[in-house]
């Protein structure tokens, strides 16, 4: 465990997932929760006198320098959050980075440039991994959110240096293992979001150890269409139809599956559209299903209230639009009100909903991973976790 490692005076390469979102068209950070979530490991290393070489990817620059994806806003915010000046290392690797790292004193922190500016990162290139490894004596991987990527800074370096999991990585693994485990019952999975295909693997993997799988969000249209029901103006793609049918045809899944019995249908796809609440069996020929209805909310709230384990990924409707936020808000309140359950939430828009409703403190663990959490919940082996050997 990283707490047992003598890091004083050593250079520690710390891979974090600082891939934050920005306000549209600006370099102002919209959500800095990944920065805050990375602080515990940085502080642990600093308190033990390590020389911290912090690194992350930012966006998808595809192996080129893209000026608006420079790490600078992240470095600046990290300096503010830590209350120390985080140095800038110039490049992801290279002479300047080497010079900056050599000049670090014990407990100092410097940040490398966006790792994905170098094509070697995503290619898991041996030279790039060697260059990164040459900057450090020890490697700590705290980037759970990127652990589904077999990239140089996630798996390549782990073969070249003594490697440990960071505190966030460990907390994520422990919480997600608990989420997929069968022990706590009744267990409820609440799954929303726009595509059934994205959640197919999660539903199939969770269903055997779950008592109720509650479905909401954009997925509802495909699920109802696959049952032969009208879903208004929405054109459900063949892929979505196939994924929805696969769930309905799975005997274990279908036994646990709860679909909305009523829905909110907007005349137009707009936040100020007129809307009606209607039975899921009689959605008009035109219009858009943008939220779950009140009877569905009541059923879902009952299931959540008696659960001992709750896994939540995906809003119930288009909650960004006030008129269609009722389902997500009610589900969030019910989760918050259940004080005894283990509660895990994940996914970008779920976390956004949690933060905007101010219920973050009521969730046992909010995962910093998007794709990584989903792959874990699907039961896949994540290359970044496999590369750790010891956690």
Quick one: DSSP state of residue 281?
T
Assigned token pair, 326: 């009722």
If binding is defined by CB under 6 A, does position 17 make contact with ligand 3PG? yes
Report how many helices (DSSP H) and strands (DSSP E) the chain contains, helices first.
Answer: 15, 17
Residue 303: HSE in the Cβ half-sphere, 13 Å Cα cutoff: 23
Residue 198 Cβ vs ligand 3PG, minimum distance, rounded to whole Å: 13
Residue 118 Cβ vs ligand 3PG, minimum distance, rounded to whole Å: 15
Among 370, 375, 385, 388, binds ligand 3PG (CB under 6 A): 370
Nearer to ligand 3PG, 199 or 309 (CB): 199
Residue 135 Cβ vs ligand 3PG, minimum distance, rounded to whole Å: 21
Residue 100 Cβ vs ligand 3PG, minimum distance, rounded to whole Å: 24
Q: Active site includes 348?
A: yes
> How many chain residues touch ligand 3PG (CB under 6 A)?
8
Nearer to ligand 3PG, 48 or 148 (CB): 148
Among 28, 36, 60, 62, binds ligand 3PG (CB under 6 A): 60
Options 195, 204, 242, 380, the catalytic residue = 195
Pair type for strands 262-266 and 275-279: antiparallel
Residue 208 Cβ vs ligand 3PG, minimum distance, rounded to whole Å: 26
Residue 213 Cβ vs ligand 3PG, minimum distance, rounded to whole Å: 23
Q: Which DSSP string corresponds to 295-356?
A: HHHHHHHHHHHT-SEEEEES-SS-TTSGGG-HHHHHHHHHHHH--SSEEEEESHHHHHHHHH
Residues 130-149 that bind ligand 3PG (CB under 6 A): 145-146, 149
- Nearest CA among 272, 279, 148, 259 for reference residue 212: 259
- Nearest CA among 62, 67, 45 for reference residue 54: 45
Assigned token pair, 7: 């890091």
Nearer to ligand 3PG, 16 or 45 (CB): 16
Nearer to ligand 3PG, 19 or 296 (CB): 19
Nearer to ligand 3PG, 275 or 312 (CB): 312
- Nearest CA among 34, 115, 28 for reference residue 76: 28
If binding is defined by CB under 6 A, does position 327 make contact with ligand 3PG? no
CB 142 within 8 A of CB 14: yes
If binding is defined by CB under 6 A, does position 314 make contact with ligand 3PG? no
Q: Active site includes 34?
A: yes
Distance CA 141, CA 369 (A): 14
Q: Active site includes 327?
A: no
If binding is defined by CB under 6 A, does position 293 make contact with ligand 3PG? no
CA 177 to each of CA 174, 190, 257, 266, 340: distance values in angstroms, whole numbers, following the listed order: 5, 17, 22, 39, 18
267 C-beta neighbours (distance < 10 Å), count: 15
Distance CA 206, CA 378 (A): 7
Q: Active site includes 371?
A: yes
Distance CA 227, CA 81 (A): 50
Nearer to ligand 3PG, 21 or 261 (CB): 21
Among 49, 94, 186, 371, binds ligand 3PG (CB under 6 A): 371
Distance CA 89, CA 101 (A): 7
Options 10, 11, 34, 46, the catalytic residue = 34
The catalytic residues are 34, 195, 348, 371
Query: Using CB under 6 A as the criterion, which residues of the chain lie in contact with ligand 3PG when the complex forms?
Result: 17, 19, 60, 145-146, 149, 370-371
């Amino acid at each position: 465990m990283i707490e047992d490692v003598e890091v004083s005076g050593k250079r520690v390469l710390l891979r974090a997932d600082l891939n934050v979102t920005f306000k549209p068209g600006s370099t102002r950070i919209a959500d800095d929760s990944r920065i805050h979530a990375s602080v515990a490991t940085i502080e642990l290393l600093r308190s033990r006198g390590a020389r911290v070489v912090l690194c992350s990817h930012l966006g998808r620059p595809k192996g080129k320098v893209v000026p608006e994806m420079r790490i600078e806003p992240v470095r600046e915010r990290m300096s503010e959050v830590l209350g120390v000046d985080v140095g800038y290392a110039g490049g992801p690797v290279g002479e300047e980075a080497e010079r900056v790292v050599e000049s670090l004193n014990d407990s100092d922190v410097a940040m490398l440039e966006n790792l994905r500016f170098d094509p070697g990162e995503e290619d898991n290139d041996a030279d790039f991994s060697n260059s990164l490894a040459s900057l450090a004596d020890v490697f700590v991987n705290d980037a759970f959110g990127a652990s589904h990527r077999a990239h140089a800074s996630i798996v390549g370096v782990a073969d070249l240096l003594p490697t440990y999991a960071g505190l966030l990585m460990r907390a994520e693994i422990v919480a997600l293992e608990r989420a997929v485990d069968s022990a706590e019952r009744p267990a409820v999975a609440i799954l929303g979001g726009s595509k059934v295909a994205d959640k197919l693997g999660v539903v199939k993997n969770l269903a055997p150890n779950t008592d109720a799988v509650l479905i909401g969000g954009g997925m509802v249209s495909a699920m109802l269409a696959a049952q032969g029901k009208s879903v208004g103006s929405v054109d459900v793609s063949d892929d979505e139809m196939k994924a929805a049918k696969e769930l309905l045809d799975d005997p274990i899944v279908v036994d646990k599956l709860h679909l909305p019995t009523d829905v909110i249908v907007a005349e137009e796809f707009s936040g100020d559209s007129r809307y009606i609440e209607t039975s899921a069996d009689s959605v008009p020929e035109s219009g858009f299903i943008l939220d779950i209805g009140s009877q569905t909310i009541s059923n879902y709230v009952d299931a959540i209230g008696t659960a001992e384990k709750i896994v939540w990924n995906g809003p119930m409707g288009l909650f960004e639009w006030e008129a269609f936020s009722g389902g997500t808000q009610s589900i969030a309140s019910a989760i918050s009100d259940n004080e005894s359950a283990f509660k895990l939430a994940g996914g970008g828009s779920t976390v956004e909903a949690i933060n905007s409703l101010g219920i973050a403190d009521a969730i046992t663990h909010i995962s910093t991973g998007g794709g990584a959490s989903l792959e874990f919940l699907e039961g896949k082996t994540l290359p970044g976790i496999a590369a750790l050997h010891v956690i």
